[in-house]
Each structure stands twice: as structure tokens, then as C-alpha cells.
Amino acid sequence: MPVIFFTTLTCLMPLTEQKNIMLVTTTNTIEGRRIVQYYGLVSGETIIGANLIKDFFASITDIVGGRSGAYERVLKEAKESAIAEMVQQAKGIGANAVIGVDLDYETLGSGNGMLMVTACGTAVKVE
């Protein structure tokens, strides 16, 4: 599995140090790198459900206040899965970076019991 280096600003590790790194950034450029080829749009989607036990404890958290650790873990898992799928798609077409990444979150299903996370960006090759 490739190592994913996700940044919202700049790359800190030269590509020559790690051949297995996929640079992923929300910006349209990578400071210190030159984009030599654009491959196009890549995306990853994850739909994940929350179970009744998590819903029960989340409702208690809503009443007494605080953060819902169970939902935060589900959200983190869904985000990481969507990004990993996007990275695999980019790798499959020869890219070594994904720029302009946007993450979207939606609730689906009856009672909003499902969470959908979409990661979308432009696959590129950088030097």
C-alpha cells in the first residue's frame, strides 16, 4: 500500500527519497515541484453506516454535551477510505500526486443513517 502524504500547503519530503509516496494536496500547485503531466480527474467514494449502538451513545452525548467519539471514528475511517481509493485510481494511471483535492460529506438513507464521503482531485505527475 502506498504511503500517502497529505498536505494543504506544501510538500516537505522530496519524491526521490520515497518512491512509494503519493503527494495529495488541496492546493493547485506543489511548492518546489513542477507539474509535467495532467492525467485528469480522480475520485474515491465511501458510504458507511452507523449502527444502533453508536446512535444510542451519540444521542446520550447530544443530551449531556460533548463529542461523539464513535461518530468521529466512523467519519475518519470514511475519509481515509475515500482518499485511499482516489490515490489508488491516480496511481493506476501513472500519477505521483493529486492536486486540488476536495472532500465532500453527505448523509443518506432514511433517518440519515448513512454517511457518504467523496474525495476528488486532479491526478498529475510532478518532478
Say what the pLDDT of residue 126 is.
96
The pLDDT tens digits of the residues spanning 63-100 come to 555 666 667 788 888 999 999 999 999 999 999 999 99
Chain-centre distance for alpha carbon 90: 13
Angstrom CA distances, 27 to 38, 46, 72, 89, 101, stand at: 15, 22, 25, 19, 7
Q: Kindly report the average pLDDT of the chain as a whole number.
A: 79
Asked if residues 22 and 44 have their Cβ atoms less than 8 Å apart, the reply is no
Assess whether pLDDT exceeds 60 at residue 9.
no
Q: Which domain holds residue 26?
A: 3-126
In this structure, what CATH number is given to the domain that contains residue 11?
3.30.110.70
pTM above 0.85, yes or no: no
Q: What is residue 49's predicted lDDT score, i.e. its pLDDT?
A: 79
| Overall number of domains in the chain | 1
